[in-house]
Amino acid sequence: MREKLRRLPWLAIIVLVILVLPAFFVPKAPAKREIVREQPKPEYLSVIPERAVSLQNVTIYKDAALSQVAGKLSAQTQLSIKKLSNHAFELTNGDYISAKGTLVGSDVTLTTEKSTVSVFTTHTVNVLYSPWTTYEKEVYSTVGGGLVLSTLKKANTHWGTYYEVNFDNGRTGWVSAKDVSLEDPRILALQKSLNEKYGHSGFSITVKELDSSFTVGVNMNTELYAASLAKVPVLYWTQKELNDGDASLSDQLRYLPAVNERSWGAFETDGTGTLPKVADGKLYSLQDVINRTAKESDNVGSNLLAYYEAGKFDAAERSAVSKLMGRTYDPVARNASSLMIANALLALYNEGGACYNALIGTSYDNEKIAAGVPAGVLVAHKIGDAGSYNHDAAIVWGKTPYVLVVMTNGGSDGDITGVSQMVWGALE
């Protein structure tokens, strides 16, 4: 065999090796996967529980066979157990009770997990040293109503759910979930007021607390023509380009006629702003264009951003913006709901940078939403006006920062200011 191999051409030898070699490396069949099913808990306990307690009302018997009733024990009674006899516990006083796990258990904290929610007090609440058990129920302090408490942990005992909270300048303790609310009562009251005054079809209003998931409003999903609120997603995308390193504030954008072509979805050049209404061929820095778009609501500025940064609303921009706004959004038709604009404004805030900062100190800071909050309160906002459509979208930096978007069909500046006053009064 060796002689024959020597006479074979090298190519034939290589082919033979390729054919034979895999036989030495046959993969092993995968091991059969073992399916592990959670075993049901036994009906009866097999050991005496630590810190034993009655979990509900329990019948007392005179005998281990549990045939001669001697009385009742109420729930939350600490038990002194001498020994376990079959399915019965003998108590130290000579009585017997059933060893069913639904009747008797260990009075300890059952589960503990991290928690970062906020809870709200509507009345005076006891603060405990530990999650409540019959063995640990000492009151540490009290807190009053109308407070927002940040949580650190969440725990469960046989008697309920408890939150570890920060209170009184850094102290921590535990409160019962029954004594606090996960819903801000101010928000609930605001929702009622908004429904009563602005629930008709001419308004789409969304209020979102900046640092929580609480959202209220009326007709939040009703889409109206967004007018210049459509510049919010354009500013968001521009900031994303900056943050991703695909643009620089020093970039020079040439003002070409194509920038204003309606065929790809440009705004009409009429309206507010100081950029020329007709292309002048000049270069404008990206920083300058951002400022004009946000502070002056300049249509040409928005066109320049959409043309150069958003690729004339290319597929990538449309998909990403629709996703963050929560609904399919057409940047050419520019129809959106207050909730969609609120989501876009939050996304812009989260990106930060020049595009968000340009919404502070605009030419319209004494109007609409800004006019409804006390002087000196920081408001980052973008207005929108077109015919009967009158809007404003803002982040208001009070003690509880919030996003407020008011979109109207037929509403006045005073109507928007009225909504702003209502929201400020409810949350601050």
Mean pLDDT on 227-255: 98
Confidence of residue 41 (pLDDT cuts 50, 70, 90): low
* Domains with residue ranges and CATH for the chain: 52-106 (2.30.30), 111-179 (2.30.30.40), 187-249+316-427 (3.40.710.10)
Confidence of residue 40 (pLDDT cuts 50, 70, 90): low
Answer yes or no: are the C-beta atoms of 290 and 355 closer than 8 Å.
yes
* Torsional sign, CA 407, 410, 413, 414: negative
pLDDT at position 214: 79
Confidence of residue 365 (pLDDT cuts 50, 70, 90): very high
Answer yes or no: are the C-beta atoms of 109 and 155 closer than 8 Å.
yes
Q: pLDDT tens digit string along 264-302?
A: 999 999 888 999 999 999 999 999 999 999 999 999 999
- Report the distance separating Cα 237 and Cα 273, nearest Å: 21
Number of Cβ within a 10 Å radius of residue 152: 13
Confidence of residue 39 (pLDDT cuts 50, 70, 90): low
Answer yes or no: are the C-beta atoms of 173 and 140 closer than 8 Å.
yes
pLDDT at position 96: 98
pLDDT above 60: residue 49: yes
Q: pLDDT tens digit string along 376-385?
A: 999 999 999 9
Q: pLDDT tens digit string along 92-131?
A: 999 999 999 999 999 999 999 999 988 999 899 999 999 9
- Report the distance separating Cα 371 and Cα 384, nearest Å: 15
Answer yes or no: are the C-beta atoms of 276 and 255 closer than 8 Å.
yes
Separation of CA 315 from chain center: 27
Q: What percent of the chain has pLDDT over 90?
A: 82
Reported in sequence order, the residue ranges of 252-347 that DSSP labels E, i.e. its strands, are 252-254, 283-285, 335-336
Confidence of residue 9 (pLDDT cuts 50, 70, 90): low
Residue 377, token pair as written in the block? 């309160």
Residue 410, token pair as written in the block? 């037929």
Residue 272, token pair as written in the block? 């507010």
Answer yes or no: are the C-beta atoms of 308 and 234 closer than 8 Å.
no
pLDDT at position 169: 86
Mean pLDDT on 220-249: 98
pLDDT at position 87: 94
Number of Cβ within a 10 Å radius of residue 354: 17
List, in order, residues 6 or more apart from 17 with CB less than 8 Å away: none
